Amino acid sequence: MTRIDEILAHGRSFSVEMWPPKTAEATARLRAVFDELSFLKPSFTSITYGAGGSTRDLTNDLVIEILGRGDMNPMAHLTCVAHRRDELVDILERYKQAGVDNILALRGDAPAGSGEKWPKGDLEHAIELVELAREVGPFSVGVAAHPEGHPLSSDLATDRRHLASKLRVADFAITQFFFRVEDYLRMVDDLARLGVDKPVIPGIMPILNIRSVVRMAQMSGAAVPQEVARRVEAVAHDPVAVRRVGVQVACELAERLIDAGAPGLHIYTLNQSAATLEIAARLGLGEYQSAP
Ligand SMILES: Cc1cc2nc3c(=O)[nH]c(=O)nc-3n(C[C@H](O)[C@H](O)[C@H](O)COP(=O)(O)OP(=O)(O)OC[C@H]3O[C@@H](n4cnc5c(N)ncnc54)[C@H](O)[C@@H]3O)c2cc1C
pLDDT digits (tens, 9 = 90+) for 40-66: 999 999 999 999 888 999 999 999 999
Q: Is the CB of 48 under 6 A from ligand 1?
A: yes
φ, ψ dihedrals at 226, nearest 5°: -55, -40
Residue 285 CA to ligand 1 centre (angstroms): 28
Radius of gyration of the chain (CA): 18
Residue 124 CA to ligand 1 centre (angstroms): 10
The per-residue pLDDT for range 198-226, each reduced to its tens digit, is: 999 999 999 988 787 677 677 777 888 88
Q: Is the CB of 121 under 6 A from ligand 1?
A: no
Q: Is the CB of 54 under 6 A from ligand 1?
A: no
If DSSP codes are grouped into helix, strand and coil, which group holds residue 19? Answer: coil
φ, ψ dihedrals at 46, nearest 5°: -100, 140
Per-residue confidence (pLDDT) for residue 291, from 0 to 100: 40
CA distance 143 to 139: 13
- Domain ranges in the chain are 4-290
Q: Which of 96-105, 186-195, 210-219 has the lowest mean pLDDT?
A: 210-219
The per-residue pLDDT for range 223-278, each reduced to its tens digit, is: 888 888 889 889 989 999 999 999 999 999 999 999 999 999 999 998 999 999 99
Q: Which amino acid makes up residue 249?
A: V
Matching CATH number, 4-290, of 3.20.20.220, 3.30.200.210, 1.20.910.10, 3.40.50.620: 3.20.20.220
Catalytic residue among 17, 25, 93, 287: 17
| H-helix segments, 99-209 | 126-136, 156-169, 181-193
CA distance 42 to 277: 11
- Whether this prediction's pTM lies above 0.75 is answered by yes
Contacts 24+ apart (CB under 8 A), 230-233: 232/207
Roughly how many angstroms between the first and final C-alpha of the chain, as a whole number?
23
